[in-house]
C-alpha cells in the first residue's frame, strides 16, 4: 500500500438487524487530504463515521489507518461531534489542555501548545471562562482547539457547524482551513450543507440514500481562498446538488 494513503476503507458494510445502512463502501483518503462527505439526510453519514471510530463495529469490511486496523489507543484520532462536547467543569484553557493531558504530555509543552491554539481560534482572552459563560460558537471553537491541540493524524468532524448561523459558520470554516493548512492533518468532514462541502474540501464523497453506497468521489480543485458567489464555485455546487438529488 502506498505510504501516501492515510485511511483505507475496504468493503465496509453495516447492518442494524435487518436494516442495511452502509452497503459495501470502499474509498481511500490521502495523507493531509480534506475530504467532505455529503449525502441526503438520514443516509447514514454519522453511522459511517462511527464505524471509522469503532463506536460501531462494521458488519463486514475493514478500515485501515496508516495501513493498520483502527486502534484508538494507538492512532491519534480526534472527533468533533454535532453536540458540543466541552467539559462544563473545566475552563476554556483546561478543556483545550484535556486531550494533551490524557496523552501524558509534560506540563510545559501543554502550556505552550494550548496558548498557541487558543491564539489561533481567538479565545486567549476567554481562557479562564467556563463553557456555560460562552456563546455556542465559542464553545465549538473550544472543541476544535482541543482537537487540533493534540495534533491528530486524523480529524473527524460530524456537522460541527450545523447549529450555527451563517456568519459564524463562515468564520469558523476559514479558521478550520487555517488550522488544517498549518497542521497538515487529514480531515474527514461530514455535512449535509453542499455549499460548506464545496467551500472546504479537496475531495467530495457523495453518498446515496439508504442502503448507502458511494455515488461519486468528486475532485474539488477550486483555488483558495474560495468565494461562494464565484461562478466556478456555483458550478461545482450545482454539480454536487445534482448528484445528491434522490427525488
Shorter beta-carbon distance to other proteins: residue 163 or 241? 163
Omega prior to 211 cis, within 30 of 0: yes
Cβ(149)–Cβ(99) below 8 Å: yes
When binding is defined by CB under 8 A, the residue of 1, 108, 125, 132 that contacts other proteins is: 132
To the nearest whole angstrom, how small is the minimum distance from the Cβ of residue 85 to other proteins?
4
List binders of other proteins among 27-46 (CB under 8 A): none
- 81 is a site residue for other proteins (CB under 8 A): yes
Please work out, in degrees rounded to the nearest 5, the angle formed at the alpha carbon of residue 62 by the alpha carbons of 60 and 67.
170
- 53 is a site residue for other proteins (CB under 8 A): yes
Cα 10 from Cα 27, distance rounded (Å)? 7
Shorter beta-carbon distance to other proteins: residue 84 or 170? 84
Cβ(143)–Cβ(155) below 8 Å: no
To the nearest whole angstrom, how small is the minimum distance from the Cβ of residue 110 to other proteins?
13
When binding is defined by CB under 8 A, the residue of 87, 115, 228, 232 that contacts other proteins is: 87
Count of residues near other proteins by CB under 8 A:
26
DSSP-derived letter for residue 93 is H
Which residues lie closer than 8 Å to 168 by C-beta, 6 or more apart? 137, 161
Stretch of 69-77, 116-124, 213-221, 229-237 contacting other proteins, by CB under 8 A: 69-77
Which residues lie closer than 8 Å to 11 by C-beta, 6 or more apart? 24, 25, 26, 60, 61, 62
- The position carrying cell 453519514 is 45
When binding is defined by CB under 8 A, the residue of 130, 137, 151, 164 that contacts other proteins is: 130
When binding is defined by CB under 8 A, the residue of 5, 20, 90, 222 that contacts other proteins is: 90
To the nearest whole angstrom, how small is the minimum distance from the Cβ of residue 177 to other proteins?
22
The secondary structure of 135-183, three-state, reads CHHHHHHHHHHHHHHCCCCEEEEECCCCCCCHHHHHHHHHHHHHHHHHH
When binding is defined by CB under 8 A, the residue of 76, 137, 163, 213 that contacts other proteins is: 76
- 137 is a site residue for other proteins (CB under 8 A): no
- 89 is a site residue for other proteins (CB under 8 A): yes
- 109 is a site residue for other proteins (CB under 8 A): no
Comparing C-alpha atoms, which of 55, 65, 61 is closest to residue 22? 61
The residues that touch other proteins, with contacts defined as CB under 8 A, are 53, 55, 72-73, 76-79, 81, 83-85, 87-90, 98-99, 102-103, 130-132, 143, 146, 150
Amino acid at each position: 500500500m502506498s505510504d501516501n494513503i492515510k485511511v483505507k476503507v475496504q468493503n465496509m458494510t453495516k447492518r442494524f438487524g435487518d436494516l442495511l445502512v452502509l452497503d459495501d463502501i470502499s474509498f481511500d483518503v490521502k495523507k493531509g487530504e480534506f475530504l467532505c462527505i455529503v449525502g441526503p439526510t438520514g443516509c447514514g453519514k454519522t453511522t459511517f463515521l462511527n464505524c471509522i471510530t469503532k463506536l460501531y463495529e462494521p458488519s463486514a469490511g475493514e478500515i485501515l489507518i496508516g495501513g493498520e486496523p483502527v486502534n484508538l489507543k494507538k492512532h491519534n484520532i480526534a472527533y468533533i461531534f454535532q453536540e458540543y462536547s466541552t467539559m462544563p467543569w473545566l475552563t476554556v484553557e483546561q478543556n483545550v489542555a484535556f486531550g494533551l493531558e490524557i496523552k501524558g504530555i509534560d506540563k510545559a509543552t501543554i502550556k505552550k501548545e494550548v496558548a498557541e491554539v487558543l491564539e489561533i481560534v481567538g479565545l486567549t482572552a476567554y481562557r479562564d471562562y467556563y463553557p456555560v459563560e460562552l456563546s455556542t460558537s465559542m464553545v465549538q471553537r473550544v472543541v476544535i482547539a482541543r482537537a487540533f491541540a493534540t495534533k491528530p493524524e486524523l480529524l473527524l468532524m460530524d456537522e460541527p457547524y450545523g447549529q450555527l448561523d451563517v456568519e459564524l459558520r463562515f468564520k469558523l470554516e476559514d479558521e478550520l482551513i487555517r488550522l488544517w493548512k498549518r497542521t497538515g492533518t487529514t480531515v474527514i468532514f461530514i455535512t449535509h450543507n453542499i455549499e460548506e462541502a464545496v467551500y472546504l474540501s479537496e475531495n467530495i464523497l457523495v453518498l446515496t440514500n439508504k442502503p448507502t453506497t458511494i455515488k461519486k468521489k468528486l475532485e474539488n480543485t477550486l483555488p483558495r481562498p474560495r468565494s461562494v458567489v464565484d461562478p466556478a464555485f456555483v458550478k461545482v455546487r450545482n454539480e454536487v446538488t445534482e448528484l445528491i438529488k434522490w427525488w
